[in-house]
Amino acid sequence: MASKENIDLLRVPRHVAIIMDGNGRWAKKKGNQRIFGHRYGVAAVKETIEAAAEIGIGYVTLYAFSTENWNRPKTEVDALMALLVSTLGNELDTLIKNNVRLMAIGDIDSLPGIVGRNLQQSIAKTSMNTGLVLVLALSYSGRWELTRSVKQIALDIANGVISPNDIDEKFISSRLQTSSIPDPELLIRTSGEYRVSNFLLWQIAYSEFYFTDTLWPDFRKEHLFDAVYDYQQRERRFGKTSEQIS
């Protein structure tokens, strides 16, 4: 397993996105309810953020709750929302102390009132921080984001604000919720699943993927270092040949 010393600090990915999968299976193995796994997953989040800050990663986006997750049993959804509120409250001082700025993407208006209020307060209280940016994807999906963007662009065309000729890849990126941050160079998914689950579909066009069998509650600093070390062994060509980039 890689350690911090194995990492080339001059070539760390600027932005790492993570699909935190396996909480439910972890809890089931322990003979507990799924929410038990979600609670223990908070420790993995803390270790991951600490590790990312240690090696100079600028942005970490966590897929915390998808639009599809609303279809889970109400008891689990309610418990997840309560966990989010308590975690934001418990960790806010730590975020401020460690100079972490909090952001959120997704359909925030669909969150319960107390969740949305606590989230916005935490975002506001960390807005002046200049260190690592922690992005929570809540009530988010890539298709939802793209649909929202297309509707906004169509409305602007209909109102004569823009012309279809104004639209290119850069323009579309500017209309996404991630417009103020770079696209992720590295996407990590835990628990042994090999899919992107409707996450950052536009933004991960040239991301490197890293899959691990580790269930999210067991994910620790060394696992992030492993992923970054693996990333650094790859050749990123962006459609070019090896000779062109050498």
Beta strands in the chain (DSSP E): 15-19, 59-66, 101-105, 133-140, 186-189, 208-211
Helix (H/G/I), strand (E/B), else coil: 4: helix
Q: What residues have CB less than 8 Å from 213, skipping those under 6 apart?
A: 191, 192
pLDDT digits (tens, 9 = 90+) for 107-127: 999 999 999 999 999 999 999
State the burial class of residue 65 (Cβ atoms within 10 Å of its Cβ: 0-12, 13-18, 19+).
buried
- The dihedral over CA atoms of 117, 120, 126, 131, expressed in degrees to the nearest 10, equals 130
Average pLDDT of the segment spanning 143-157: 98
pLDDT digits (tens, 9 = 90+) for 53-66: 999 999 999 999 99
**What structural domains does the chain harbor?**
4-234 (3.40.1180.10)
Range 221-240 burial, b when 16+ CB lie within 10 A, else e: bebbbbbbbebbeeeeeeee
Distance (Å, rounded) from C-alpha 133 to C-alpha 102? 6
* Average predicted confidence (pLDDT) for the chain: 95
Query: Is the pLDDT confidence value at 134 over 80?
Result: yes
Neighbours of 55 (CB within 10 A): 16
The residue among 20, 15, 33, 14 whose CA lies nearest residue 214 is: 20
Distance (Å, rounded) from C-alpha 83 to C-alpha 86? 5
Q: What is the pLDDT of residue 245?
A: 54
Concerning whether 71 is annotated as a catalytic residue, the answer is: no
Neighbours of 95 (CB within 10 A): 20
Q: What is the pLDDT of residue 66?
A: 97
Cβ-contact 149, 158 below 8 angstroms: no
Catalytic residue among 69, 98, 129, 198: 69
Q: In percent, how much of the chain has pLDDT > 70?
A: 96
Concerning whether 21 is annotated as a catalytic residue, the answer is: yes
pLDDT digits (tens, 9 = 90+) for 25-48: 999 999 999 999 999 999 999 999
Does the CA dihedral 25-26-32-37 come out positive or negative? negative
pLDDT digits (tens, 9 = 90+) for 167-217: 999 999 999 999 999 999 999 999 999 999 999 999 999 999 999 999 999
Average pLDDT of the segment spanning 55-80: 96
Q: What is the pLDDT of residue 152?
A: 97
Maximal C-alpha separation, the chain: 59
